[in-house]
Structure 1
Amino acid sequence: LVINIAASPYHAGKGRLRERMLATRATDNVSCVAMCNLVGGQDELVFDGNSMVLDQDGDLVAHAPSFDEHLLVADLDIEGLYLGRLHNPLRRTEALAAYARSVERVFVSGPQDVKVRPPLPEAISPYLSDEAEVYQALVTGTRDYVHKNGFETVIVGVSGGIDSSLVATIAADALGPEHVVAVSNPSRYSSEGSIADARRLAGNLGVRLVIVPIEPAHAAYLQMLEGLFAGTEPGVAEENIQSRIRGNVWMALSNKFGWQPVLTCGNKSELATGYATLYGDMAGGFAVIKDVPKTLVYRLARYRNGLAGRDLIPKEVLEKPPSAELKPGQLDTDTLPPYEILDPILEAYVEQDRSVEEIVARGFDEPTVRRVVNMVDRNEYKRRQAPPGIKITPRAFGRDRRLPITNRYRN
């Protein structure tokens, strides 16, 4: 019996990959394998458990649940293992040499009466679905980051959009709704629908909602900078002022009441392309979905609603086009390709190390691919300043993919 005491970190689909690897090792060595894996979160990493026992043929004998501490007990067919090794010619030379070595024998006890007991029932917990395992990883990682660091109550800035709605839901599941404070900071560009969606979400989750309009501070900023900005067209600078005011409000509440950390709500698609504001929506202590692509954000929200059997995250949030609402009529697609196109390009470039030519060969428009790659490359400096967040893909920014900020090479 080969015992593997493991701390193997999670990414989506890792459990099945581990089983294939261990099954190969078991058959290669004609040995039973018991892998005992860690459960819990540590900074960016989440350990998913999924401990398992395999026989000498690589067949699964027992499998523990995902993301749950569990005592796994299994019967092993030692006689079958012996016969398998007896008839397997692999390592025959090494085995014969072992018999020739002198072995010190230590007497422990004489023969004991062994009570015959019935075989144990099968203990094979099924793997979770793709969405279920990612969602549980995010809940586990958030819960352990907060609790293990001695925090208690967190802040989530809720805009009425899909990202903040999902983060607030994960936080409520991880910590309990009584330990989540949702903060809404409407501006002159916030739609009535988004404000209503934030209220509905907070009500559905049972979390406290604090509303702090930012218009007075926004107007003061514009007035303060009016002379310097005179003669220029309004643009990103004016838009990002709003985001940075919100970040200041969250941190002020965190400092005053000890609500920490602030959970940021940027997803992997946004952080990859730099569609985020330094010292604004990036302000906080833990980035729950920083490794979750936007298209997966929607799938997770629908999964959680299905689990609840109702629209825990309001359907209006899922149906409206995503927008930062920092100027009239703004949509994410004003700046980014549609997420259905963007996310596969990012996966190929960031996680699979594919070149522009290889990505174009998959059927993507070359100008779009080059534009996306350029956005990823030039926004390394932003990602370097982002808080830690949970790894759920094979290659996460920061821990797995960390490139030089200063790099003249552009091909």
Structure 2
Amino acid sequence: MLNLTIAQINPTIGDLDGNLALHLEAARRARLDGADLVVFPELSLTGYYPADLLDDEDFQRRLDVALADLLTATREVSSLHWVVGVPTRHDGPGKAYRNSLLVIRDGEVLLDYHKQLLPTYNVFDERRHFEPGPDVARVLRIAGTQVGFMICEDGWNDEGKDYAVNPFQRLADAAPDLVVSINASPSQIGKRDLRHQVFRAASWRHRLPLVFVNQVGGHDQLVYDGASFAMEPEPGVVFEAARFESDLTTLRFETDRGVFSSREGGVLPIPPAADGLSTPEFQRRQIVLGLRDYARRCGFERVVVGCSGGIDSALTLALAVEALGADRVLAITMPSRFSSSGSVDDSRALCEQLGIALEVCPIEDVVRQVGDTMAASTLALRPSGLALENLQARVRGTLLMTVSNARGHLLLTTGNKSEIAVGYCTLYGDTNGGLGLIGDLYKTEVFALGRHLNAAAGRALIPAAILDKPPSAELAPDQRDTDSLPPYELLDEVLKLLIEGERLAPQERAAAQAAVAALDAGPDARSGEDRGDEGQALIVRVKGMIARSEYKRRQAPPIIRLRGRAFGSGRQLPIAAKHY
């Protein structure tokens, strides 16, 4: 029989002292629970992923000190096996470090295992800093149980589709009683279900029970949802830790039967339903945790948001209030001569519902003064048309950054994925800020999440007037987004195909393909003329808009990732290139 503590912690990248304190606290609790071993996530000592910090000489020295302190801490909490994820130095040709798992007891490293499969796709770039480990299995007997160890990606290739090496098969050949996998598996729509599918198949194939320990917390663009689990070959998931929060749970593993039970030997609580959270609820919790940790780790206590009276800023404000509290959120509305009276009124109604302060700062005088200055200069230029529209956005962006500088608030951008994709945003204007909360939500999803927040709250956090009004930048007379863009209901389906494609869930991809195909089917409803290849023409048009806007996205702030392919580190394209 083996007592095992799952330590689902929230480390901060680079905070070696703080992370070690988290380890020590969890180990003390594990010992009180009578655990034989406590298992931490991948790279738990440094946080995932330290990236080029590993090239910094000062960080390297601090890491050496932290490893020594870790050994000392294991002596303090004696007679307990610690399974810790750390970078370890690699001697010989290749990279200077390995992504390693150490099993430590009473100051002695009993086992080391080095990650073999180093992902270099999407948001991952581990081969940049780490050397792959050898193709060997590592097993250690603890409390009469043969425990085999893996690190994250090593467990994802059991079908042999992505790598020539299969560490899971190699480990199964060593005949452990239990597999322990430490992970830093970032969260996205459908990722929890995918983890269960992949590891259920491997557990079933090799008839091996396993424990999957994941980290939790927001780190820049990525959010880790925790959701660590214990799995048996026959029933599948028998225990799941909390999602989007730290968790410490001790389980009993009955070695002779290969099953898990509670710490006292009783029945485990029924794990959450296989389908998990609804999509809007997942989006809400992911964004809230992402903002909360981003602000905390970057030293911001308060945020500021430009409030236009539209759905994007309204949703951003509502999510910020949930993450930080109403007293830490400031809204500023900056009407121009093109702003409708309803926009200011809607902003006031929104802020009253959310319980946050709203400041009013009209921009008409500033915009006019800029125009007068330029006209009187040797430029002899008075902005009009698109230049005037963008000038208004840039004045607003400048004012918001001034407030951010003066009061120390984090400025949140309010652009959604649809607008960011096609460049329907102003560089150095509404793209100003430190973090975007809804940049991986398509416009139709923004409306859906707003309605979800209202339903969950049981009241109109976001007033119906905001949810029902046609989207508009209000930078020109009677302007509507549809003056420049296809209807979002159609645009979003095209964008899903072009940006995510095969990464979409089958049902979502089929719906997007059907929406585009419908454009080419039958005559136009108004003119009666054959629409021909309208769907393909739209795809070509949108593809061009995406390509021409790459330079804007390169300069935009990070956004919280929700989908399989988000703008940012997971989508790397050249700017000066022919994309279509």
**Which of these residues, 16, 39, 53, is aligned with residue 193 of structure 2?**
16
In the alignment, residue 247 of structure 1 is paired with which amino acid? G
Report the Cα distance in structure 1 between the residues aligned to 2:264 and 2:295, rounded to whole angstroms. 45
Cα distance 1:29–1:214, how it changes in 2: closer, same or farther (>3 A)?
same
Report the Cα distance in structure 2 between the residues aligned to 1:64 and 1:223, rounded to whole angstroms. 61
Per mean C-alpha deviation after superposition, the further-off stretch among 215-224 and 185-194 is 215-224
Does 1:373 pair with 2:543? yes
Query: Does the CA-based 8 Å contact 2:244-2:286 persist in structure 1?
Result: yes
More helix by share: 1
Does 1:246 pair with 2:416? no
- The corresponding residue for 1:405 is 575
Does 1:168 pair with 2:298? no
> How many Å apart are 1:395 and its aligned residue?
0.5
Per mean C-alpha deviation after superposition, the further-off stretch among 294-303 and 55-64 is 55-64
Cα distance 1:400–1:410, how it changes in 2: closer, same or farther (>3 A)?
closer
- The corresponding residue for 1:236 is 386
Task: Name the SS of the counterpart of 1:352 in structure 2.
Answer: helix
> How many Å apart are 1:233 and its aligned residue?
9.1
- The corresponding residue for 2:506 is none
Query: Does the CA-based 8 Å contact 1:243-1:280 persist in structure 2?
Result: yes
Query: Does the CA-based 8 Å contact 1:156-1:264 persist in structure 2?
Result: yes
**Which of these residues, 131, 141, 159, is aligned with residue 280 of structure 2?**
131
> How many Å apart are 1:117 and its aligned residue?
5.4
Report the Cα distance in structure 2 between the residues aligned to 1:347 and 1:245, rounded to whole angstroms. 32
Per mean C-alpha deviation after superposition, the further-off stretch among 202-211 and 65-74 is 65-74
**Which of these residues, 299, 319, 341, is aligned with residue 448 of structure 2?**
299
Report the Cα distance in structure 2 between the residues aligned to 1:362 and 1:380, rounded to whole angstroms. 27
Report the Cα distance in structure 1 between the residues aligned to 2:513 and 2:277, rounded to whole angstroms. 31
Query: Does the CA-based 8 Å contact 2:400-2:411 persist in structure 1?
Result: yes
> How many Å apart are 1:223 and its aligned residue?
2.1
Does 1:209 pair with 2:362? no
Per mean C-alpha deviation after superposition, the further-off stretch among 41-50 and 125-134 is 125-134
- The corresponding residue for 2:341 is 192
- The corresponding residue for 2:8 is none
> How many Å apart are 1:5 and its aligned residue?
1.4
Task: Name the SS of the counterpart of 1:209 in structure 2.
Answer: strand
> How many Å apart are 1:22 and its aligned residue?
1.1
Task: Name the SS of the counterpart of 1:277 in structure 2.
Answer: coil
> How many Å apart are 1:252 and its aligned residue?
1.0
Report the Cα distance in structure 2 between the residues aligned to 1:45 and 1:352, rounded to whole angstroms. 21
Q: Deviations over 1:309-345 (max 9, x none)?
A: 0110011100000000001110011111111111111
**Any stretches of 5+ residues in structure 1 without a counterpart?**
83-115
Query: Does the CA-based 8 Å contact 1:52-1:64 persist in structure 2?
Result: yes
Q: Deviations over 1:330-386 (max 9, x none)?
A: 0011111111111111111111269xxx96974451221111000001110000000
In the alignment, residue 327 of structure 1 is paired with which amino acid? A
Q: Deviations over 1:259-290 (max 9, x none)?
A: 2x200000110010000000100011111111
Does 1:140 pair with 2:140? no
Q: How does 1:344-383 map to 2 (within 5 A)?
A: 344-352=493-501, 362-364=517-519, 365-383=535-553
- The corresponding residue for 1:258 is 408
Task: Name the SS of the counterpart of 2:203 in structure 1.
Answer: helix
> How many Å apart are 1:56 and its aligned residue?
2.0
**Which of these residues, 179, 183, 198, is aligned with residue 2 of structure 1?**
179
Query: Does the CA-based 8 Å contact 2:252-2:264 persist in structure 1?
Result: no
In the alignment, residue 389 of structure 2 is paired with which amino acid? E
Task: Name the SS of the counterpart of 2:399 in structure 1.
Answer: helix
Does 1:390 pair with 2:560? yes
- The corresponding residue for 2:431 is 282
> How many Å apart are 1:73 and its aligned residue?
4.1
CA RMSD of aligned residues (A): 2.2
In the alignment, residue 221 of structure 1 is paired with which amino acid? V
Query: Does the CA-based 8 Å contact 1:30-1:81 persist in structure 2?
Result: no
Query: Does the CA-based 8 Å contact 1:184-1:209 persist in structure 2?
Result: yes
Report the Cα distance in structure 1 between the residues aligned to 2:491 and 2:498, rounded to whole angstroms. 11
Q: How does 1:59-208 map to 2 (within 5 A)?
A: 59-76=236-253, 78-81=255-258, 119-126=266-273, 127-208=276-357
Q: Determine what percentage of the aligned residue pairs are the same residue.
A: 42
Report the Cα distance in structure 2 between the residues aligned to 1:232 and 1:337, rounded to whole angstroms. 30
Cα distance 1:124–1:19, how it changes in 2: closer, same or farther (>3 A)?
same
> How many Å apart are 1:123 and its aligned residue?
4.1
Report the Cα distance in structure 2 between the residues aligned to 1:71 and 1:231, rounded to whole angstroms. 64
Higher RCO by CA contacts (8 Å cutoff, separation 6 or greater):
1
Per mean C-alpha deviation after superposition, the further-off stretch among 324-333 and 216-225 is 216-225
Task: Name the SS of the counterpart of 2:239 in structure 1.
Answer: strand
Report the Cα distance in structure 2 between the residues aligned to 1:391 and 1:81, rounded to whole angstroms. 37
Cα distance 1:280–1:4, how it changes in 2: closer, same or farther (>3 A)?
same
Report the Cα distance in structure 1 between the residues aligned to 2:308 and 2:264, rounded to whole angstroms. 60
Q: TM-score, normalised by structure 2?
A: 0.62
Cα distance 1:36–1:231, how it changes in 2: closer, same or farther (>3 A)?
closer
Cα distance 1:77–1:344, how it changes in 2: closer, same or farther (>3 A)?
farther
- Count the aligned residue pairs: 373
